[in-house]
Chain A
C-alpha cells in the first residue's frame, strides 16, 4: 500500500502534468458516468427511477440470485427490497392478540383473523420491547422513539434519535424518486402531555434528526401528487429554465475564457434537465410496457383535495398510495401512522362511540377488539394489494417487509414491556415467514426492538454496528 508512504506528500504534489495541460478542455465527468447521484430530501423529487430493472416494465433485467440472509456483501438484486412501517397507537386487545403454529396451519386469534389468507407470509412476533420507552411516562414517551430506541427529552426542546426508516432513507433512499414516504391518517399535535413530554412525540415516529421529525403528509391528494404529479420536478424545471436564462444573459457579456467556465454551468443545467425528461419518458414507457404485458398497473386516480370525510376511505387511500409507490419503485421506504398515539379518531361505522384513546383504556372490551381488528384489516388490505402485483416469480409483497407496530400492548395499563408486532412479506427472500416467534421468555438483552431493526437493516444491506440501544442482532428472527 502506498497510501501511507512517505512520498505521498499530499495531493498537490502529484505531477502537475497529470492534470490538465491544455488551456481549457471540457472536463470529463467520470462522476457523471459512475454511480448516479440523486437529490435527496423531502420536497425534492428528482431522481431516476429503478424502472429499467423492473420486469413489470418489460425491460431486461440481469438476473441475480437472491442473496441469502447474512450474506457478507449484498449483490445487486433483480427486484428492490421495500420496507413499510404501519403504526397504530394505544395498544391492542391483549386477550385477542395471539397466534399458534406455523405456515398454512397457523392458528390466528380473532383480532388477527383478517390475516388468514397471508399466513404463509406472516410472522407474529411477541415479546419484543423498546427499553428507553419503558418507565419514562406514558403515551408520548412510549411512542416518539419507537423507531429510534433513543431516550426522549421532556419539556420544550425536542430530542430523541433519528429513526430507523430515515437511517435507511439516508443510505438507500437516494436510489428512488422519494427517499421515503411518511404518511399519516391523523393530524400531528404539539403541546404537552401530563408526563411533560411534547405531543410531537405522540404524533411522529419518523425523525430525520434527533430534534426534528419528518413532516407527515396527511392529505392523500398531496401524497399522491408527490409521487405522480411530479410537483417537485415541475418546480425544479421552472428553476432550471430561469437559471438557464440567466446564464445565457451572462454569456453575452463575458470573455471567451469566462464563457468556457460558464459552459460547465450550462452543460450541468442541460444535463440535469435531460434527466428530468428522461424520467418522464421512462414513466410513460413503463406504463405502456405494463399494459403490453397484460399486467395492470394499479389504477388509481388522484384523490380529491382535502381530507376524506370517512376514515375508512382515508386509510384505504393511504394504503393504496404506499402500494403504488412500491410497485412503481417511487420509494422503497414508507411509514404510515394509521392513527397516532392519544388518537382522537372515531369509529361510528364499528358502532363504537368512544374515541380511539378513550376506548383503549377499556382495552379488554369488545369495542376495542373491533377497533384493533379494523386496523389489522387495513394491514391485510395493504398486503393483499402488494401480493396482487407480480414481480419475477413472486409478488411485490415477497420483496417487501410490512411491519405492524403499536406503542404498547395494553392500553388500560399503558404496558409496553412487550409490544405487538407483525411482519408480512419475505423481503426478497431474506426473511423467513409463516412463523410465530415468542421472545417473552428471553432475557431483556435478547428481546430489544432495536436488535430487530438491526436485523432488518442487515437484510436490506445496511449493516450498522449498533442502532438505538442495541448493538446485537435479534437472535432467531
Chain B
C-alpha cells in the first residue's frame, strides 16, 4: 500500500535551520525523539521507507532530530494517522511494535504538533502571489466591464490545491501557452469596448463590424422605449385612483405619489388629469372622453377588473379617434431624387414627427345636425363582462387591430376588412378570461378597494406598459435583451395609421362631427387640437417600413428597428418627441439623449448614411459630374464634398420642374448631413482626451488600487507610442491600451505589494488588527495537549516578519474571499478612507458583502469546489439514451440546487448543520418534476423552497441529485464513489488513492447477474487489502441505493433487483437509507463534519493550504459555531478578524521566526 503524503509546500527549510537554541520544552521533545521515536522508526519503518526506493516516496532516514520533524509536520501528521489506524506497519510486516511503543510515538507526535500550533498561532503563512483563477478572472471581467463575457471558457481547467480549491498560489501556475490565452482573452474583452462621446463602455457583443455596432445601440434604445409607460389606460387608471384617493384610503396622496405607485410618468399624469378634470364645458372628443371618465365606477361599486376594462375602453376610444385625424404627409421628389431617395424620405419622416401632436382639420366632418349623444352608461353595459374583458396589450395594438377589436366588441366604428396579416396581429388575449381576483387577503381579512384594484392590475394577463415582453418560442436573446422576432410596439406603424386616416376620410363618422357654423366649429377645432396635443398619435416610433410606399403592403415588414424607412440603405431616424417632451423626466431625457449620441457616434451613423446614399443613388448618378463622389472615397463626408455635391444636385433639381418644398428639402438635407458629419468629426476630436481619462479609470479599477503617477504616465505613453510608432488609429490604440492593462501582472495577479508598512513590528494599525479576543478564546478553546500548560496561555504576538495588510490589500482579500471578484466602489472607498481595518467597519463590510448578490459566486466557487460539483454543467457521463430525463436543463437545475441552498444558508445565516439535516431544499419546475414534487410551475428560473422535502426523499445536501449523479459512472450507481464523496468531501477523511490493477465492476447494473451491487462489492472486498479502505466508505454509499444513476428515487435497480438500503458503518452500527446516514453522522461523526467545514472555509479564504499553526483558529471557529447555534456568519467573522487574514509575511528574505528557536 502506498502512503499518500501532502505536497511539501513552501519554504520550510529555514525552520529547520533555525532550531539551534532549543528551550526546555523542545529539549524534552528532542530527548524523547532520540530515546523513543527514532529507535521506533529504525526498527519498524526503515526497511521499507528508506533510500531511493522508499515506499510511498517516504524516506524516513531524512528525520534525525526534532527540527527535521517540525520542518515537515504535515507528513508527520499523516504518519500519526496511519499509526493510529494501525495501518502501519502493515499487518504482514515481520516486526510489529507493542501497543505501548505505538502509543508513545503517537503521543509524541501529537504533543509536538500541539506545541507547534501554539507557538506559531496566527502565522499568516505564506500566501503566494498568484494569478487570478479562471473563475476569478471571469467574475472580475464581469464586474469591470459590466458584461458577462467569460473569456476563460476555453482555458484549461485550473488545478486544485490539496484542500480542493483552485484559488491558491500552490496550484495556480502560468505558462507561455496560458499567457497567450490571456492575451487572446484580453483582446476579446477589448473588442467589446464601445467608444462613447463621454467615456468608455463595454457591449455584450464584439464591436468590430458595423452591424455589431448598430445592433448594440439599436437594441438598447428600443429597450429604453419599451420600458417607458406609454399606455393611456394606465394613466386613466392612475387618474381614477387620484380622484378617489380618499375613498381608497389615501386622502393625502399627491398626484406624483399616485403616479409612482402606478408606475406612470408624474408629468404626463398631471397633463391627463388636467384634461379629464377640467371643469369647463367641453365639446367634441373632449366631451366624449370626459363623459367616459365621469362614468367610471366609484371604488366599491364594481369589480376591479371591470374598472380596468373601462379604462382600456377609454384608451381604445382615444387611440381609435386619434388615428382618424392624423395629417397626411405626401411623398415629394425632385429631378434626380425620387420619393424613396434619402433627402425625400427624411423630409417625410421629419414632417410626420413634427405632426405627432397635431391633427388635420380637413378630416373633420361638418354637419348641420349633431349626432345622437352617446350614452356612456350604455357603453358600459354593452361592454364585455369583466370576466371576459379583452386583454388588450397596449404595446402590440396596431390601429388596425384596434379597429378590428373594437368592431368585435360591437362598437360603432368604421368597418374594416381585416386581412389575415391584420388578424394575426390581434392581441392574443382577445376573449380570454381575466384571471379571477381574490377579494380576501391570505389571512381572511377583506381587501380594501385599493388592494383589489392593484390585484386586478397584477392579474392582467396583458402586458402592462413597460413590463417584460411576453415570451414566445421565437424569442431571441441578444446581449441580455430579450426581443421577440419581430418586435411589435404600439408605436411601430404610425405610417400605416396615417394612411388609414386617409383611407377612411370621408366615411361618415360621428366621432369626426363638427358644426357647420364657423363660430361653433372653432370651439370644436380647439377641442380636437387640445385632444391631439395631449394624446399624440405615437409617443415614439421604434420601427418603420419604407415610408414612401403603400403602408398596407409595407406593414408586414416590421422589425426594422429605428429605421428611417429607406430602401436598401443604411438609415436611422429618431422620432420620439412626444415621449421626450411629455413623459420623460430630466434624468430619463439625459439617458435617452446619451443612447442616441452613443449610437450616432460609435456607429458613425451620419457618415455611413451619407455613404449609403451615394451607393443607393449610383444608378442615377451616372453623370461624370458625380465621379468624385464614389463611396469608396473616404473624403466624401468632408464638409467641402458634402457641399459641392449638394450644389450639383440643387442645380440639377432646378433645371427640371421642382416644387419649392422639394427644393428646400434637398437643401435642408445637405445642411443637416454637413452639420451631422461636422458633429461627428468634432465629437471624435473632443472625445479622445475623455477616452484617455476613462482608460486611466479603467486601469485603476483593474489594478484594484490607486495608480501611481508613474503608472498613469506609462499608460498614456503606451497609447501615444501605439499611435505614433505602430500607426494605430485612436480606437485601436484604446483597445491596445486596454489589452496592455489587462495583461499587466497588476491586474492578472493577486499581489500584496504594500511596502509602506514597517516590517516585523505591529504598526499603529496592528493594535486594531490584532484581535485581542482571539488568542484568548483560542487558548480557552484549545485543548493544548502536551507541554504548554493550559493555565498560562501565551499572549498572542504576531509572528516575526509579518506586517498588517494595507486597507487596499484587505479590501481585495475580502472581496475575493466572498465574491471571487474585485472590490466594489464602497469597499474601495473604505480602503481609500483608511478605515477598513477597524473591526467594526470590517465586520459591517463583511456583512454587506454576504448579503450582496455576488455571494452566488461564493456558493459556486467555495461550495462547488468543496463539494465537487463545480464542473457539473459540463458533466456528460450520463447515457442519455437510457436516461432521457437527463436533459441539459435538468443538468443545469441539478447544478443550481446546492447553489440556491448555500446562498440561502449564507444570506439567512442558517445553521451550517442544515447542510446535512435540513428538511428543505430548493427546486425549479424541472428539478421538481425529476423529484416528483408537485405544483411547482413556471419558467426554469422560478426557484422555490420546498419544505418537508423528506416526503420526496430530499432535504439538505446528501440526497441532492447533483451529487448522486456526479458519483455514478453512467449506467449504474457507485456506492464506492458516493461513499467516498461523503467521507472525503463532507467528513474530511483522508482516503488513500487506490492501488493500480484492481478488478473492475461491470459498467451496467443490468449486467450484474444475480447479485446486487452491494453483494458484488462485498465479494470484491474479500481481499483484505481492499477491505481496509473500502470499509471506511462503502457503507456511506450503500445507503444511497434508493437513488439511481441520475439521482432519481427508485425501489429497483436497473437489473430489476429490489434495492438494499442497509449498511454497516465502520464502527458496526447498522443503519438504513439517507435518514440512517444522517443519524449515524449526528451521533458519531458530526464533529468531523464541522471540523472539515471550518478547515475548508479557512483554506479557501486564505488561498493556501492550512498549517499546524492554523489549528487554534480552527478550534476557535468550532467554538464559535457551537456557541451560536452553528450559524454561518460567526465562521466568516472569525476568519476575517484573524491574524491569518489580516496580516502577511513580510517580503524580506530573512529567516522566518520558527517555533523552536526562541
Contacts and interface: CB of A to CB of B under 8 A. Distances in A.
A30 to B, nearest CB: 9
Contact of B559 (A24, A29, A155, A239): A155
B474 to A, nearest CB: 9
Nearest to A20: B7
B568 A31 contact: no
A328 interface: no
B560 A192 contact: yes
B710 to A, nearest CB: 9
Per DSSP, are chain A's interface residues mostly helix, strand or loop, or mixed? loop
A191 B570 contact: yes
Contacts of A14: 993
Nearest to B564: A191
B970 A272 contact: no
A466 interface: no
A234 B993 contact: no
B397 interface: no
Contacts of B589: none
B175 A40 contact: no
Interface string B1104-1122: 0000000000000000000
A440 interface: no
Contacts of B50: none
B568 A6 contact: no
A215 B718 CA distance: 26
A6 B736 contact: no
Nearest to B9: A23
Contacts of B561: 155-156
Contacts of A358: 619
A268 B183 CA distance: 11
B1145 interface: yes
Contacts of B478: 157, 211
Given A14-B993, A16-B4, 12 more contacts: A12-B164, A29-B175, A155-B559, A190-B211, A191-B612, A199-B568, A236-B183, A243-B743, A253-B755, A264-B174, A267-B176, A272-B180
Contacts of B969: 4, 6
A212 B479 CA distance: 12
A280 interface: no
Given A15-B4, A242-B718, A353 B211 contact: no
A191 B1031 CA distance: 71
Interface stretch (A111-119, A255-263, A363-371): A255-263
Contacts of A247: 745
Interface string B602-614: 0000001001100
A187 to B, nearest CB: 6
A258 B128 contact: yes
B10 A257 contact: yes
Contacts of B1146: 255
Given A14-B993, A213-B211, A235-B728, A9 B559 contact: no
B683 interface: no
A316 B429 CA distance: 60
Nearest to A251: B745
Contacts of A242: 714, 718, 740, 744
A477 interface: no
Nearest to B186: A239
A16 B5 contact: yes
Nearest to B566: A191
Contacts of A306: 633-634
B177 interface: yes
Given A5-B1000, A307-B633, A190 B210 contact: yes
A235 B718 contact: no
B740 A17 contact: no
Interface stretch (B230-238, B291-299, B521-529, B746-754): B746-754
A77 to B, nearest CB: 25
B840 interface: no
Interface in A31-51: 31-32, 37-44, 46
Q: Which of B560, B721, B1146 has the most CB of A within 10 A?
A: B560
Contact of A156 (B13, B559, B618): B559
Contacts of B984: 9, 13
A264 B210 contact: no
A177 to B, nearest CB: 14
Interface residues of B, number: 127
A242 B571 CA distance: 42
A240 to B, nearest CB: 8
Interface residues of A, number: 98
A149 to B, nearest CB: 20
A246 interface: yes
Contact of A268 (B162, B178, B556, B1145): B178
A421 to B, nearest CB: 26
List the 7 shortest-distance A-B pairs measured between CB atoms, nearest first.
A155-B559, A7-B994, A268-B179, A271-B176, A255-B1147, A156-B561, A258-B129
A196 B174 CA distance: 50
B1032 to A, nearest CB: 12
Given A4-B1003, A156-B559, A191-B566, A261 B619 contact: no
Contacts of B180: 37-39, 46, 272
A306 B635 CA distance: 10
Interface in B587-637: 608, 611-612, 615-616, 618-619, 622, 631-634
A254 interface: yes
B333 interface: no
Contacts of A32: 175-177
Contact of B568 (A4, A194, A254, A268): A194
A419 interface: no
Contacts of B576: none
24 contacts: A2-B996, A5-B994, A5-B998, A5-B1000, A6-B998, A11-B160, A24-B11, A38-B180, A43-B208, A155-B486, A156-B487, A192-B566, A194-B557, A213-B209, A215-B209, A236-B183, A238-B726, A254-B751, A265-B174, A268-B176, A275-B176, A307-B633, A344-B631, A355-B619
A433 interface: no
Interface stretch (B420-428, B887-895, B972-980, B1132-1140): B972-980
B128 A257 contact: yes
Interface in B144-182: 160, 162, 164, 169, 173-181
B545 to A, nearest CB: 8
A16 B568 contact: no
B12 interface: yes
A84 interface: no
A425 interface: no
A266 B722 CA distance: 22
Given A158-B211, A187-B631, A44 B187 contact: yes
Contacts of A239: 183, 736, 739-740, 743
B1148 A255 contact: yes
Interface string B438-453: 0000000000000000
B303 interface: no
A193 interface: yes
Interface in B540-559: 543, 545-546, 556-559
Interface in B4-42: 4-13
A340 to B, nearest CB: 10
A314 B727 CA distance: 23
A188 B615 CA distance: 11
A23 B478 CA distance: 48
Contacts of A214: 209
B173 A27 contact: yes
A198 interface: yes
B287 interface: no
B485 interface: yes
A16 B6 contact: yes
Contacts of A204: 209, 211
Contact of B13 (A9, A23, A213, A264): A23
Given A40-B184, A187-B632, A155 B485 contact: yes
B95 interface: no
B1027 interface: no
A15 B558 CA distance: 64
A212 B206 contact: yes
